[in-house]
Amino acid sequence: MLNRPLLDRLKSEAWSGSPEALLQLQGIMSENEGNAKLVLEILPIIWAHLPLPIPSFNTTTDSNREHVTKHAANALAALPAAFQCGAFRTKKVTTEIQRNWSRIWSWITFLYDSYLNSSSPTRYTSTHLDQIHLALSAILSASTSFPCLISLCAKTQSFAPLATDIALLMIQNPRFTASEPVLIHSSLVLQNVSKVKHGSSDQLVRRLNQVESQHLADIIVTRIMNARSALQPHSHLIPVKVSLIVLYCCSISSPIFNAWLMNCRSVYWVCHTMKRLLSFETRRLDGALLADCLQLSFTYLMTAFNQYGHTVVLEALRARLLQSMASTSSLFGVDALLDATLMELYTDLLRVIGQYTMYRSVCGVASKALSHVAHKVPSGTKLARIFRGFESTVQERMELRRCYDTLEIGMCANRCSYRTTHIRAKNERITFYRCGGCRAVFYCSKTCQGEDWKQGHKDMCAVTKTRMGRGSNDYLPPCADIRDVMFMDWMIEQHLDDEQLLHTHITRQNEYRNQHPEIRASDLVVSVLDFTGFPFEISVTTMADAKEKCPDTDWDLMLHQAEGETGQMLLVLTVGPCTRGYTNSYTFMMPHKCTCHLRGQNAKVAEARLKHLKSSALAGSRNALQDIETMISENLRIVPDVLPAILHHLPAPLPDFSAMDIPQKTSIIGLAQSALVALGEALIRDHFHTQSVVDEIHRSWPHIWRWIVFLFDSYLNPESDLYASSVPIDDMVDHPVTIHYAISKIIFAFTNSKVTGLPILTKTKGAISLAIENFLISAGELSFVLMDRVMFNPDAFTYSTWALLGLMEAPDDKPLQAIANKLSQKKSGRFAVGIVARLIFASRIQDASGTPRSLKSTLNVMNLLTLYSPAFNISLIHSKSVYWVCTIIRGLTSRLGATVSSDSANVLKSGCDYLLSALDHFGHPVATELLKTGLLKCILKSGRFLDSAFMIESISEDSDETKSTGTLPELYIKLLHKIGSYTVYGSVCGVAVKALSRVKMLEPPPRLAEEFKQFVTEVEGRAKSKAKHDESAIAVCGRIGCPYLDKNFSDRTKGDRVPTFRCTGCEEVYYCSKECQKFDWVERGHRNMCKQRKLSKERNSHHYNGPTLDIRDLLSFNSMIMDYIEDDVAWWLSVALLFKVRCERDPDIQPDEPLVALLNYQEFPHKMDIITVRKAKGMDTGYSWDRVVANWRRRGEFVPILTIAPSPGRPDYAIWTWPLNEMNELDE
């Protein structure tokens, strides 16, 4: 019910200029839709705020102008409420609007030119700009929505261009998000402006084709991203729908603008928006709005697929498009905004995706996507039938692809390739190389690439590059590479080989002749196999139509070959999927086939460009030198031609930098650095095989070496007088890291050639020292090698490592001696830290780019250097190298599958070699570290690939790298035995028991099952002995005659544990209480002894003398030996047996010659043997064996026992006797 007093009051206030009253009147009109009388009452108020003519504001104040324009904007914003369909049924309302249309349009034009048009000569600023935006977008949206207003707009000059510009301007306004009414109104304008005549669509196309529209494309995609991010289970879908409407309207208008949308990854974000929409429960969202959003998304994807082909299909499949489509079944039947229903769009989209599965790349991605969605499609529905048909066709083509990949048919673009024929016969796989220019064809070798280049690929490459280099206003379709084209060709051949399909072709041709009697029997007809109709369609056409569809085919030759063989020879024209406006046709003659297809046209740098680069390089262009380096990596034959241009920037003698300003120094040094990099690339590629290159290097080597020494001393060697004397280079390309990279690369280029390059380098004075220093810098100076801003692949460290390994193969031992001297210096600690940091860095970025090879080189050189420098070895241990190497092995083991590459297997072997070396040098602390880090779990998890690694090792040959000490299973066994030998010590045994408890659910590899079972048995036995020792409370108090221990001596077997505290000075002696420590510190002189031991450790920090055993470990070991000896039955049986075997095996032993029982715990499991006293004297020379002989002769049952404890370096011997009470006689 209309409130008349309120209405009269609001009208009065609106006449006086109240914006609030006008806004309330707008609401009343919206609530009373169709009330023509109410509209007629309010329209005069609106016209009053839109005076005509428009006042001139040149002579008025800004405040007056602001007042008038604010009221006008409010009036325009109120008009859409009056434009209601019900009101337009009244002729008076229609007449009133038509009579004042010029007033409305004049104010729209004035507000746009005055406040929004950046090219307008008179442009004002306003504090009410948001109101103007809203008013213009609302009035234009209403004007393009009602038929009676559309006729007025069509008669208005320049309406469509102005409306389009305003709508696009509103879309780009960053202050309005997708949820604002401004964007909603602007999307409706773009959607409805095509209904207005006078070239509205052309205006939109021209506007979208402008270069500035690239920013508009980015904003549209950003709005979709923001709307997607804001989605919640109960969200309103209007923002998403509006953003998709804008995207759709702009994309269908201009292919060029659609290309800019593609660059902003619009397809990816549309697919992810669909996925997020369907991730919520459908009942929580508005079903109609959701269907509208999906239809807009599907329609846009169809547009993108038609314009961009397989590249966009690939991106959509990788963005989970099939998963989203499989989740739309509950929405079918909901009619939405567009003409086509959701089911029709769904079917069309699947059909287009299915077409492009003829491409090898799309087929693989589609098959993988299907594996994730097969269970999501409900069975028994029309959707399921469509989807199952799509799935069966894709799986069929995937089987063809697997067969094709096995055969490798036609991969090499050189048709005369011998290797391609060889592969077809032997069914082998080889590596193919992509053309670096067009990036569309592949070759099996550089030779084939060179031959194909001469046979015409050069011209096609140039044409393709010219097309790629055109302006952005030329739309070009995506170019399929040779793998896709060849696979499509081969798949069509398989279809034509099908006898059933051949019978279908003949039947269809006969039916066509019967339907067209005018065709003579001698006239040939052509079968059309159309793969754009998924999965394919068969039809028949005349020869004239076939020539029109495929004009590039030599039809005259076809007719000549088929002449006189009508009924036996069958012509088939196949049409494959391609982008709109371009054909992809194939012509076959059956049963003998010949093909004619459009090969992807390729591009590469022409000879004229090389000449231009050489002249530019000689003129001082660093970019030209870098481009030459790239060309060398692609074409080895240009090395002799470009070598003079490279060496031009390494002049002799060196320039006088003291007379130059900063820019000159920077330019010359930068050019020299780029020249060294390009020269290194040339020599690495050429490998000193070209005689002209070798002669030039021999002639130019002196001044090349001077430049290397100058750059090294100036930027890398802090001990040089030239260091930092030249001006620091600010440009990133001229940073010292690139100089280091250049020197590393050029040194490696010489060491890589054993016959020519290495002798040149080793005969140069100071070259070996510089190469070693360069390597130490690359490993120790993290600021040079771990910078994210400049990271080469391979980097300076990799090149310097390869160079060092090459120096190791020099005929003399000078490099080895120089390395040992360098590592013995104090800087070995910093170098060790750098090596370990390198390992950590390589392990954390491990991927398919060759990191295992980098890890292998680092581990190999680390193993090599540990042999020549004990100080470096100690520094590695202090840098926790054992922990990180074990962590790398653990990470690599967890990532490997059933098969393993040779690089990964070599990384595992090199890591195990280092761990074995560390155990040999550092003993039980390393064993404890390995058990704590999880080495046992790594060994047990290697079962899935151990056989593969063994096969790789059995057929591989060690060439330039350090040789391993065995195969991977053998190394694992050695590690188990070495760690097991140290479990005689209580600390290692306890950690081993915990490690075994963590892997008890894992099965050992078959190759290691017996050894691991033996390891577990021995560790469990030693753990029982340790537990018995712990229960008996054998104390380790360092105070001699400890009263606490004497008092409780008789109670030790009760399991009372005595607390122990370690001296923090020497870290070797333990006490049961603070009182005992104070007594031993003062009365027994431990204070002086502790000070001397601490000073001794500091003096010998760079000289390793072996690990120091803890007193608790010694007592635990002695307790285990005593338990073993006290087992009378086992001891006497074993001793008697060994005595008998020994005497029978060595009859030269005299009856009166004493024998000694040997318990060797360095072996795992421990070995027991009988030796003579003479041999025992040779093993432990510091003991008085004469007293042993005397006791043996006096007591026949007396048995001396010699034990060997596991210890790195010198063996640790101890003397025992049987029976144990005879120990007192030996003063033990």
Cα–Cα distance between 412 and 419 in angstroms, integer? 9
Burial of 725 (0-12, 13-18, 19+ CB in 10 A): exposed
Cα–Cα distance between 745 and 673 in angstroms, integer? 11
How confident is the model at residue 1056, as a pLDDT? 52
pLDDT of 847 > 60? The answer is no
Average pLDDT over residues 750-778: 83
Torsion angle defined by CA atoms of residues 322, 323, 326 and 329, in that order, rounded to the nearest 10 degrees: -120
Determine contact, residues 111/162, Cβ cutoff 8 Å.
Answer: no
Determine contact, residues 986/1029, Cβ cutoff 8 Å.
Answer: yes
How confident is the model at residue 421, as a pLDDT? 40
Residue scoring higher pLDDT (1005 or 1129):
1005
pLDDT of 585 > 60? The answer is no
Cα–Cα distance between 417 and 481 in angstroms, integer? 19
Residue 511 structure tokens:
């039916």
Between CA 1216 and CA 1220, with CA 1219 as vertex, the angle to 5 degrees is: 55
DSSP letters for 1089-1100: HHHHHHHHHHHT
pLDDT of 998 > 80? The answer is yes
How confident is the model at residue 1057, as a pLDDT? 54
What confidence category does residue 942 fall into, taking pLDDT thresholds of 50, 70 and 90?
A: confident
How confident is the model at residue 962, as a pLDDT? 43
How many CA within 13 A on the CB side of residue 1177? 11
Residue scoring higher pLDDT (606 or 2):
2
Cα–Cα distance between 686 and 636 in angstroms, integer? 7
Cα–Cα distance between 140 and 111 in angstroms, integer? 13
Q: Please tell me the least confidently modeled range out of 125-129, 1070-1074, 1111-1115.
A: 125-129
Determine contact, residues 146/83, Cβ cutoff 8 Å.
Answer: yes
How confident is the model at residue 786, as a pLDDT? 41
Cα–Cα distance between 1164 and 978 in angstroms, integer? 7
Give per-residue pLDDT as tens, 770-793.
888 888 777 665 444 443 333 445
How confident is the model at residue 314, as a pLDDT? 87
Q: At what angle do helices 767-780 and 736-751 cross, to 10 degrees?
A: 130
349 Cβ partners below 8 Å, 6+ apart? Answer: 298, 301, 302, 305, 325
- Segment of 611-615, 1012-1016, 1150-1154 carrying the highest mean pLDDT: 1012-1016
Determine contact, residues 867/915, Cβ cutoff 8 Å.
Answer: no
Cα–Cα distance between 669 and 654 in angstroms, integer? 11
pLDDT of 1163 > 80? The answer is yes
How confident is the model at residue 391, as a pLDDT? 83
Determine contact, residues 536/358, Cβ cutoff 8 Å.
Answer: no
Kindly tell me the sign of the dihedral angle through the C-alpha atoms of 1033, 1037, 1043, 1046.
positive
Identify any residues that bridge with 540 across adjacent strands, giving them in sequence order. 527
Give, for 1217, the enclosing helix (H) or strand (E).
strand 1212-1218
Give per-residue pLDDT as tens, 858-891.
787 788 777 777 777 787 888 888 888 888 888 8
Residue 576's SS3 state is coil
Determine contact, residues 590/496, Cβ cutoff 8 Å.
Answer: yes
Domain positions in the chain: 1-114+126-156, 212-407, 410-479, 498-590, 620-826, 1034-1105, 1111-1225
pLDDT of 855 > 60? The answer is yes
What confidence category does residue 624 fall into, taking pLDDT thresholds of 50, 70 and 90?
A: confident
One-letter amino acid for residue 718 of the chain: P
Q: How many CB atoms lie within 10 A of CB 386?
A: 16
The percentage of the chain sitting over the pLDDT mark of 90, rounded to a whole number, equals: 0
Give per-residue pLDDT as tens, 168-226.
777 766 555 544 677 777 777 777 776 665 555 566 666 666 656 677 777 778 877 87
Identify any residues that bridge with 198 across adjacent strands, giving them in sequence order. none
Q: Pick from 113, 247, 124: which is nearest to 191 by CA?
A: 247
How confident is the model at residue 203, as a pLDDT? 60
Determine contact, residues 361/482, Cβ cutoff 8 Å.
Answer: no
Determine contact, residues 429/408, Cβ cutoff 8 Å.
Answer: yes
Average pLDDT over residues 350-374: 84
Identify any residues that bridge with 537 across adjacent strands, giving them in sequence order. 530
Cα–Cα distance between 808 and 867 in angstroms, integer? 13
Residue labelled with tokens 């079944």: 329
How confident is the model at residue 275, as a pLDDT? 82
Determine contact, residues 891/846, Cβ cutoff 8 Å.
Answer: yes
What confidence category does residue 917 fall into, taking pLDDT thresholds of 50, 70 and 90?
A: confident
Residue 10 structure tokens:
């609001």
Determine contact, residues 642/614, Cβ cutoff 8 Å.
Answer: yes
Pairing of strands 525-530, 570-575: parallel
Cα–Cα distance between 1209 and 541 in angstroms, integer? 90
How confident is the model at residue 337, as a pLDDT? 46
Q: Pick from 73, 93, 79, 580: which is nearest to 309 by CA?
A: 580
Alpha helices in 689-795 (DSSP H): 691-715, 736-751, 757-762, 767-780, 782-785
304: phi then psi, degrees, rounded to nearest 5 = -65, -40
Residue scoring higher pLDDT (302 or 1044):
302
Cα–Cα distance between 576 and 932 in angstroms, integer? 61
Distances (CA, A) of 731 to 60, 580, 1135: 56, 47, 79
Residue labelled with tokens 């026949």: 1196
One-letter amino acid for residue 1013 of the chain: K
Identify any residues that bridge with 237 across adjacent strands, giving them in sequence order. none
How confident is the model at residue 638, as a pLDDT? 82
Q: At what angle do helices 287-308 and 310-318 cross, to 10 degrees?
A: 140
Q: How far apart are the first and last CA of the chain?
A: 118
Residue 290's SS3 state is helix
Give per-residue pLDDT as tens, 442-499.
777 778 888 778 767 777 777 666 655 544 444 445 566 767 777 777 787 777 766 6
699 Cβ partners below 8 Å, 6+ apart? Answer: none
Kindly tell me the sign of the dihedral angle through the C-alpha atoms of 184, 185, 190, 193.
positive
575: phi then psi, degrees, rounded to nearest 5 = -120, 120
Cα–Cα distance between 1192 and 303 in angstroms, integer? 102
Average pLDDT over residues 45-74: 79
Determine contact, residues 77/139, Cβ cutoff 8 Å.
Answer: yes
747-751 LR contacts (CB < 8 Å, sep 24+): 747/708, 747/771, 747/774, 747/799, 747/800, 747/803, 748/680, 748/684, 748/799, 748/800, 748/802, 748/803, 748/806, 749/679, 749/680, 749/683, 749/684, 750/683, 750/803, 751/802, 751/803, 751/805, 751/806, 751/807
One-letter amino acid for residue 744 of the chain: S
Residue labelled with tokens 């329609």: 299
Kindly tell me the sign of the dihedral angle through the C-alpha atoms of 715, 718, 722, 728.
positive
What confidence category does residue 283 fall into, taking pLDDT thresholds of 50, 70 and 90?
A: very low
Average pLDDT over residues 566-591: 57
Cα–Cα distance between 166 and 172 in angstroms, integer? 10
Task: Work out the mean pLDDT of the chain and round it to a whole number.
Answer: 73
Q: How many CB atoms lie within 10 A of CB 287?
A: 14
Cα–Cα distance between 767 and 789 in angstroms, integer? 30
